[in-house]
A = this chain, B = another copy of it.
C-alpha cells in the first residue's frame, strides 16, 4: 500500500485525504461539514425476476453467493447482532474462498474475536481489507500492518450514513437471521440464535445490490415482525446453526464488583440527580459494561426514592433496563441491541420495548435523529485528555482494540458523562493528548473518576447546578496530576511507524483521526 497523502484536519490531526482509492474529507469541526448530492440509488428491480410464490430459497450460502454474482473486488457486508457467537460471516468467506474469489472488502457492522479466521483470508488474498470495527485479534492484525487496504472505523450511525450516501457501495449483503421466511422477511426475536433485533443490517438491506438472508429457523410466510423486509431480499438460505447462542447474548449481564467502579457508578448517578437531569419524564442511555450497568441500578433506586419516571431509556437493553420498564420506571425502551436473554424476551413480549436502528437513532445525515434528544448518556473511554477529547478505539500503547459502536453518535446528547477509572493497570487514563481522537471535547461534558468529577468548563450550567451538592467536583488537570504522581508520570508514547493503517471517521463521514502502524 502506498503511503497515504495526509492533511491536518480541524482538530489538528493528520489524516489521509484518500482512503482505499476514494477521496476523503478531513474533519472540519463538530457540525461544520454540509453534505452535497443525493442518497445512494440502487438499480430498480422487477418482480419479474423473483418467484411468484415468494420462495427465494437456495441450497446454501455458496449457491446464494454464486446466484448473487460474487466476483473479485466486491464489497460483502454482514451485521454483528450475533456478536462473538456469529457463524455466518466466517461461512460466507469460506464459501468465497472455495469459489476462488479474491480481494473482497469485508464490511461488517463490527467484528469480534470469533472472526479471527479473517486473518487467514487476508493473508491468502480472499479478503483485501476490512472497513468496520475490529475488536481484538483483527484490530491487532490491522495495527501490525497486516492488511493490504486501510481499515475504516465508523460509528453505527456513520456506517448507516456511509451506505446511505453512497460512500460505501455494498455489492452483496449477507444477513444472519434468527428467524426468517422463504420470502426473506426476518427477525431476531425467536430461534436458537435469537438476538432481539436486526437494526445493524437495515442499511445493508435497503442499499445493497443483492441481499442474502441466512437462517437456521425457516418458518412459513409471513415471518412477523419483518425487522428485515423480504421485499429487499434476493435469496434466502439455511445453515444448521447461524451462531453459538451462549456467545450471542449473555445469560445475564453482570454488574461490576470492583469497589472503585461501584463508587464511580454511584457518583455518576448522584451527579445525574444533583444536576437536575433526573426529572420527571427524562431520558437516558447507558451501555452494558459493568460500570454503566451499576450506574443504571443506582439511578433506578434514586428514581424510586424520588418518585420519578423516565419517558424513555435507550438500550443496549439488559435485565436492568427491562426491569425498569416492567416496573413502570420508564414508559419505553428504545433499543438498538439486546445484550442479554431478558432483553430478547422483553422485546418479544413488550410493545413498549421498541426496536430501533442506526437510521432512527444515529444517522447524522437524516432529518434529525434520536441521539440528540437524550437528557444524558453514560459512556466509556480508553483515554480522555485535559480538553475533554476522548479516545475509544486504541489504548495508550497505540494498538487498535475496540470499535466505535454508537459512542460518537451518543455524544450529541444533552449531557455526556464518561465514568472512567483514572488509571488502568497503572497507566493513566487522563492524558495530555489522546492517542486517537474519536470524540471532540466540546461534546463531552463530565468525567467521573474514583478521584472526583471533572466538568467541562464550557458547561457553566452544570457547574452551577451541582455547586453545593457535596459532589467532589475538581478540575481535570488536578485529577490528572494526582494520578501521574501515583503511577510515576504520563503513559509512554507508542512507537508508531509512518504508515496509516486505519482511518477514524466522524459521524458526518469526514476523517477525524488516523491510526498508524505499530513498531
A residues contacting B by CB (< 8 A) are 31, 34-54, 56, 164-165, 183-184, 211, 220-222, 224-226, 229-234, 281, 311-312, 332, 334, 351-352, 354, 359-360, 363-370, 372-373, 412, 414, 508
* Distance to closest chain B CB from A183 (angstroms): 6
Contact B46 A508 (CB under 8 A): yes
Tell me the bound Cα distance from A364 to B368 in angstroms. 31
Find out whether the CB atom of B36 lies under 8 angstroms from the CB atom of A369.
no
Shortest distance in angstroms between A362's beta carbon and chain B's nearest beta carbon?
10
**Alpha-carbon distance A46/B33, docked complex (angstroms):** 9
CB distance from A192 to the nearest CB of B (A): 22
Q: How far is the CA of A353 from the CA of B508 in the complex (A)?
A: 39
Q: Are A366 and B224 in contact (CB under 8 A)?
A: no
Interchain CB contact under 8 A, A225 and B354: yes
Partner pick for A221 among B44, B48, B373, CB 8 A cutoff: B373
Known: A229-B359, A230-B367, A231-B363. 17 other contacts (CB 8 A): A31-B48, A36-B44, A38-B43, A44-B365, A46-B364, A47-B365, A49-B367, A52-B412, A54-B368, A54-B373, A184-B368, A221-B312, A224-B354, A225-B354, A230-B368, A231-B359, A234-B367
21 contacts between A and B (CB under 8 A): A34-B46, A37-B43, A39-B42, A44-B165, A46-B364, A46-B508, A49-B367, A50-B368, A52-B372, A53-B373, A54-B372, A220-B281, A222-B334, A222-B354, A224-B352, A226-B360, A230-B368, A231-B359, A231-B366, A231-B367, A231-B368
B224 adjacent to A332 (CB under 8 Å)? yes
A48: contacting residue among B34, B37, B53, B184, CB under 8 A: B34
Known: A220-B281, A311-B221, A354-B224. A46 touches B35 (CB 8 A): yes
Q: For the complex, give the distance between the alpha carbons of A95 and B39 in Å.
A: 31
* Chain B residues with CB under 8 A of A35: 44-46
- CB A409 to nearest CB in B, in angstroms, measures 10
- B52, A229: Cβ atoms closer than 8 Å: no
Q: Are B373 and A183 in contact (CB under 8 A)?
A: yes
Number of copies of this protein chain within its complex: 2
* CA of A354 to CA of B412, assembled, Å: 34
**Cα–Cα distance between A164 and B44 once the two chains are bound (Å):** 8
- A231 / chain B contacts, CB cutoff of 8 Å: 359-360, 363, 366-369
Docked pose: A352 CA to B225 CA in angstroms: 9
Please indicate which of the listed interface residues A34, A47, A334 has the most CB atoms of chain B within 10 Å of its own CB.
A47
A359 to B206, CA, bound (A): 12
Q: Which 7 A-B pairs have the closest CB atoms?
A: A38-B41, A50-B368, A41-B41, A52-B372, A35-B44, A54-B373, A231-B366
Task: Tell me the complex Cα distance, A391–B390, Å.
Answer: 66
Say what secondary structure dominates the interface of chain A.
Answer: loop
A53 — which chain B residues lie within 8 A by C-beta? Answer: 372-373
Cα of A184 to Cα of B360 in the assembled complex, Å: 12
Given contacts A39-B42, A222-B332, contact A372 B311 (CB under 8 A): no
On chain B, the residues within 8 Å of A365 by CB distance are 44-47
Q: Which of A48, A164, A368 has the most chain B CB within a 10 Å cutoff?
A: A368
- Are A45 and B332 also in contact (CB < 8 A) when A53-B373, A351-B224 are? no
Residues of B within 8 A of A38 (CB): 41-44
- Distance, CA A10 to CA B360, complexed state (A): 45
Residues of B within 8 A of A46 (CB): 34-35, 364-365, 508
Which residues from chain B contact A52 at a C-beta distance below 8 Å? 372-373, 412, 414
* Distance in Å: Cβ of A452 to nearest Cβ of chain B: 29
By a CB distance below 8 angstroms, the chain B residues around A230 are: 360, 367-368
Given that A231-B359, A332-B224 are known contacts, is A364 also in contact with B41, CB under 8 Å in the complex? no
Contacts of A233 in B (CB 8 A): 367
Across the two chains, which residue of chain B brings its CB closest to A373? B54
A322 to B37, CA, bound (A): 46
Whether A367 touches B232, Cβ cut-off 8 Å, given contacts A222-B334, A373-B54, A373-B221, is yes
CA of A229 to CA of B38 in the docked complex: distance in angstroms?
19
Residues of B within 8 A of A359 (CB): 229, 231
State in angstroms the CA–CA spacing of A358 and B221 once bound together: 18
Docked pose: A312 CA to B222 CA in angstroms? 8
Instruction: Kindly list chain B residues whose C-beta atoms are within 8 Å of the C-beta of A372.
Output: 47, 52-54
Report chain B residues within 8 Å CB of A49: 367
Which residue of B is nearest A231, CB measured?
B366
Assuming the contacts A52-B373, A56-B368, A224-B332, asked whether A37 and B47 have C-beta atoms less than 8 A apart, the reply is: no
Residues of B within 8 A of A225 (CB): 351, 354
A220 / chain B contacts, CB cutoff of 8 Å: 281, 311
Residues of B within 8 A of A311 (CB): 220-222
Decide if B39 touches A368 in the complex (CB within 8 Å).
no
Q: A231-B360, A281-B220, A364-B47 are in contact. Are A39 and B36 (CB under 8 A)?
A: no
